[in-house]
Amino acid sequence: MSAEQSGSSTAVETPASGVMERFSYDDRIVRQFILATLVWGFVALLLGVFIASQLADWRLNFGISWLTFGRMRPLHTNAAVFAFAGNGIFAGIYYSMQRLLKTRMYSDLLSKIHFWGWQAIIVSAAITLPLGFTIGKEYAELEWPISIAITVIWVVFAVNFFQTIFKRRERHIYVAIWFYIATVITVALLHIINTIQVPVSLWKSYPIYAGVQDALVQWWYGHNAVAFVLTTPFLGLMYYFLPKAAEKPVYSYRLSIIHFWSLVFIYIWAGPHHLLYTALPDWAQTLGMVFSIMLWAPSWGGMINGLLTLRGAWHRVRTEPILKFFVAGLTFYGMATFEGPLLSIKSVSGIAHYTDWIIAHVHGGTLGWNGFIIFAMVYWMVPRLWKTELYSVRLANVHFWTGFLGTLVYIISMWVAGITQGLMWRAVDGTGRLVYPDFLETVLKIVPLYYVRAIGGGLYLVGFVIMLYNIYKTVRSAPADLKDDVVSAPRLTRNTIENLGKTPHRMLEGLPVVFSVLTLVAVGVGTMIEIVPTFLAADYVEANPLLKPYTGLQLHGRDLYVREGCYLCHSQMIRPIPSETLRYGEYSRAQESMYDRPFQWGSKRTGPDLARVGGKYPDLWHYRHMMDPREVSPGSIMPAYPWMYRDKTDFAIIQKKLKVMKSLGVPYTEVEVRFAEQQAREEAKLIADQLVAQGAPKGTEEKEIIALIAYLQRMGQDFKKGLIQ
């Protein structure tokens, strides 16, 4: 309660109506965030079309390290999620929260720090990711210095956000603000817990979690990044901008309450649905599955409340692009949140996981829901913020239809590709053999669909460019003087039992601190129950003294694997599914990745699983394959890695790496650490000599490719040698 009072501490005892106060909204910051959204949106979409084209035609990797798929893909996802959607969210939040709370932001300075800090983070991501500096966990790739910067800037935002709530002139907080609160709190929690890293150097670090534990924490994070970056803030924005644009009241306050709390409570549990059939203990997988199923109705609650708010305004949907974007966006949201629970059913996941079906699912959400809500919001805000009229409604309609068509082409082609490939992988004939034993055959079958997908993405990008033009023309017609409007509202009086409201929830809406604490509790319960047991590692992974950690050279090679983003095309997790063990060998055990920091189980099989690739081919095969995959696998779409044959292995850093690993509990001996560099050089020499004997050129022992081969040949060996049961 005391914090509540401090929120209205400037208020003296006044009559119930309060003293009228004049103030203005900070719209400048909103304009800045909108412009950033447009710039980064273009970059993110362009990158998307680029990497889609790389999968259709491998030559677009150009043999240039920083342009290659494995490095561009994280840049695309980070740009889309944190730069495009992120800036869009901030624009919408800064615009709506000031108006919903009838107050200017707490501090213009903090807003500025937030804005410029966030852009600096994006720029640093755009530089470091192509250079191969990555943590190697999806959507959490940014290395530790940037990761810390994210925490700092997020805290700046959070302080500004909560202080603004405290100085509000509206007693109760509207449902949009509830969703913003959930976002601000949970994103901080997710980001901090998932990226606790121990640095090796300025741009390399290892996570404190390993193997199955790292996998669980990562997908708890990854899934809830979808929940609390791409869902809750967007629902909040929808609750503000949709009724505004439709000029209709929100359909059901009760529905808002129920679906808000159920969504926030249930979402956090669902992460393990990314890990079905893996070495994660069964109970955690089952929790992930059932909570995903229970998430269906809460998700649809938001869609229903939005669509029903449009009652009486449907005739306007035909003519108004903003409403079109809302209707389509909510529908795509409904589709994606039906598909999500479906994909979480174990047997469905068995077919869909690792395939392009998941890519279709994600893009239904991002292109259809996040993109369209941002577009609706931008078209609504820009004329108001620049005090002018939209340049062309017709162009906005054209944007809608190209975007809509592009999204459909994208997701339908990827559905077909995913289901086709998923079925081919598991096809077994009457004699108990794989019908398509050659993995590449299943890839070549769907390559035409990769072209179609690139076209779909291209259409969406064209639509976006049309919007850019439209907004540019609109902004050009703005008056020179964009002074913030002055508004007035009565100062908030103290909370009393009478003015707080009659129902418990209504009272809660007047007590944002209590509200925030309850939100934290709601997301905390699932987090604790799922993650804490992993710290009691014994239940998860039995210690196995027979298992030796990676040698220095193998470890270094593994880091190269992470650097090149091989995990974006290759999994390292064989599931207990008959067709899969037939193809790759025995299913993967938790112990096999107990020294893996980060875990590299992967989430997509554009190429085959590599968990047991060690010993499958001679060194020379890998040597030639990595130089140009098509030389040994005709038609392969895997990029070539010529720079690994030029660049030298950094032998000096290996000792530091072993030291850090040892400090994290990996059983390296003192001797191994002391002579790490020497041992690694000897091991490299051995491999290089063998390669020469097999027919490779001389003088490769110092090259990175040797370290990578050392790692590839180690994969799965512990199991093959019978060290793991």
Partner 1 sequence: MSKSDDNDPNRKKSTQDSLESQPHHLAGHTYDGIDELDNALPRWWINLFYITIVFSLGYFSYYVMGDGPTLVREWEIDRGEQEIAQLSKPAGLKSVTEDELKLVLKDSTRKLAGQAIYQSKCISCHGAHGEGGIGPNLTDDHWIHGGKMTNLVKMVTVGVLDKGMPPWGTILKQNEIHSVVAYVKSLRGTHPAGAKAPQGDLVEQ
Restricted to residues 394-453, the positions that interact with ligand HEC (CB under 6 A) are 439-440, 443
Q: Which stretch binds partner 1 (CB under 8 A): 454-462, 470-478, 500-508, 604-612?
A: 500-508
Listed residue (717, 284, 196, 207) closest to 539, CA to CA: 284
Residue with token string 């209504």: 506
Q: Nearer Cβ to partner 1, position 232 or 285? A: 285
Q: Report in angstroms how near the CB of residue 129 gets to ligand HEC at its nearest.
A: 14
- Which listed option, ligand HEC, partner 1, none, makes contact with residue 150 (CB within 5 to 8 Å by class)? none
Residue with token string 């390296």: 668
Regarding 616 and contact with ligand HEC (CB under 6 A), the answer is yes
> What part of residues 43-82 is at the interface with ligand HEC (CB under 6 A)?
69-70
Q: Which stretch binds partner 1 (CB under 8 A): 53-61, 377-385, 400-408, 503-511?
A: 503-511
Q: Which H or E element spans position 707?
A: helix 704-714
Beta 204-207 vs 197-201: how paired, if at all?
A: antiparallel
Q: Nearer Cβ to partner 1, position 39 or 632? A: 632
Q: Nearer Cβ to partner 1, position 65 or 292? A: 292
Residues 6+ apart with CB under 8 A from 146: 121, 124, 125, 128
Residues 716, 609: contact at Cβ < 8 Å? no
Q: Nearer Cβ to partner 1, position 298 or 418? A: 298
Regarding 694 and contact with partner 1 (CB under 8 A), the answer is yes
- 598: preceding bond cis by omega (within 30 degrees): yes
Q: Which stretch binds partner 1 (CB under 8 A): 132-140, 241-249, 326-334, 655-663?
A: 241-249
Measure the CA–CA gap between 493 and 7, rounded to whole angstroms: 10
Regarding 89 and contact with ligand HEC (CB under 6 A), the answer is no
Q: Nearer Cβ to partner 1, position 194 or 591? A: 591
Q: Which H or E element spans position 21?
A: strand 20-24
Regarding 617 and contact with ligand HEC (CB under 6 A), the answer is yes
Q: Nearer Cβ to partner 1, position 277 or 391? A: 277
Q: Nearer Cβ to partner 1, position 444 or 478? A: 444
Among 28, 244, 659, 662, binds partner 1 (CB under 8 A): 244
The whole-angstrom distance between residue 212's C-alpha and the CA centroid of its chain comes to 19
Regarding 249 and contact with partner 1 (CB under 8 A), the answer is yes
Residues 406, 367: contact at Cβ < 8 Å? yes
Regarding 505 and contact with partner 1 (CB under 8 A), the answer is yes
Q: Report in angstroms how near the CB of residue 298 gets to partner 1 at its nearest.
A: 7
- Which listed option, partner 1, ligand HEC, none, makes contact with residue 216 (CB within 5 to 8 Å by class)? none
3-class SS letters over 277-342: CCCCCHHHHHHHHHHHHHCHHHHHHHHHHHHHHCCCCHHHHCCCHHHHHHHHHHHHHHHHHHHHHH
DSSP state at residue 490: E
Q: Nearer Cβ to ligand HEC, position 441 or 539? A: 441
Q: Which stretch binds partner 1 (CB under 8 A): 110-118, 242-250, 351-359, 399-407?
A: 242-250
Measure the CA–CA gap between 698 and 713, rounded to whole angstroms: 20
Six-digit token string for 303: 């869609």
Q: Nearer Cβ to partner 1, position 246 or 562? A: 246
Among 102, 167, 169, 703, binds partner 1 (CB under 8 A): 102
> What part of residues 560-579 is at the interface with ligand HEC (CB under 6 A)?
561, 564, 566, 568-570
Regarding 257 and contact with partner 1 (CB under 8 A), the answer is yes
Q: Report in angstroms how near the CB of residue 446 gets to partner 1 at its nearest.
A: 18
* Crossing angle of the two packed helices 86-100 and 108-128, in degrees rounded to 10: 170
Among 35, 149, 193, 294, binds partner 1 (CB under 8 A): 294
Measure the CA–CA gap between 594 and 596, rounded to whole angstroms: 6
Residues 484, 27: contact at Cβ < 8 Å? yes
Per-residue x/- track, 171-210, partner 1 (CB under 8 A): -x-x------------------------------------
Regarding 714 and contact with ligand HEC (CB under 6 A), the answer is no
Exposure pattern of 342-372 as b/e (b: 16+ CB <10 Å)?
ebbbeebbbbbbbbbbbbbbbbbbbbbbbbb
Listed residue (246, 98, 258) closest to 167, CA to CA: 98
Q: Count the residues of the shown chain that bind partner 1, applying the rule CB under 8 A.
A: 75
Beta 486-490 vs 20-24: how paired, if at all?
A: antiparallel
Q: Nearer Cβ to ligand HEC, position 26 or 356? A: 356
Per-residue x/- track, 650-689, ligand HEC (CB under 6 A): ----------------------------------------
Six-digit token string for 316: 């306007």
Q: Nearer Cβ to ligand HEC, position 299 or 421? A: 421
Among 545, 634, 699, 722, binds partner 1 (CB under 8 A): 634
DSSP state at residue 489: E
Q: Report in angstroms how near the CB of residue 61 gets to ligand HEC at its nearest.
A: 8
Listed residue (161, 217, 159) closest to 189, CA to CA: 217
Regarding 578 and contact with partner 1 (CB under 8 A), the answer is yes
Residue with token string 């901080």: 188
| 206-210 contacts, C-beta under 8 A, 24 or more apart | 206/597, 206/598, 206/657, 206/660, 206/661, 206/664, 207/135, 207/137, 207/597, 207/598, 208/664, 209/534, 209/597, 210/593, 210/594, 210/595, 210/596, 210/597, 210/599, 210/664
- Which listed option, partner 1, ligand HEC, none, makes contact with residue 629 (CB within 5 to 8 Å by class)? ligand HEC
Regarding 633 and contact with partner 1 (CB under 8 A), the answer is yes
- Which listed option, partner 1, ligand HEC, none, makes contact with residue 636 (CB within 5 to 8 Å by class)? ligand HEC
Regarding 638 and contact with ligand HEC (CB under 6 A), the answer is yes
Whole-Å CA distances, 61 to 254, 531, 623, 646: 52, 39, 19, 17
Q: Count the residues of the shown chain that bind ligand HEC, applying the rule CB under 6 A.
A: 29
Q: Report in angstroms how near the CB of residue 718 gets to partner 1 at its nearest.
A: 16
Residue whose CB is nearest to ligand HEC in the complex, by number: 607
Measure the CA–CA gap between 597 and 189, rounded to whole angstroms: 21
Q: Nearer Cβ to ligand HEC, position 69 or 228? A: 69
Q: Report in angstroms how near the CB of residue 439 gets to ligand HEC at its nearest.
A: 6
Six-digit token string for 372: 């369209």
Regarding 631 and contact with partner 1 (CB under 8 A), the answer is yes
Q: Report in angstroms how near the CB of residue 326 gets to partner 1 at its nearest.
A: 14
Regarding 289 and contact with partner 1 (CB under 8 A), the answer is yes
Which residues are at the interface with ligand HEC (CB under 6 A)? 69-70, 439-440, 443, 561, 564, 566, 568-570, 606-608, 610, 613, 616-618, 621, 629, 633, 636-639, 641, 708, 712
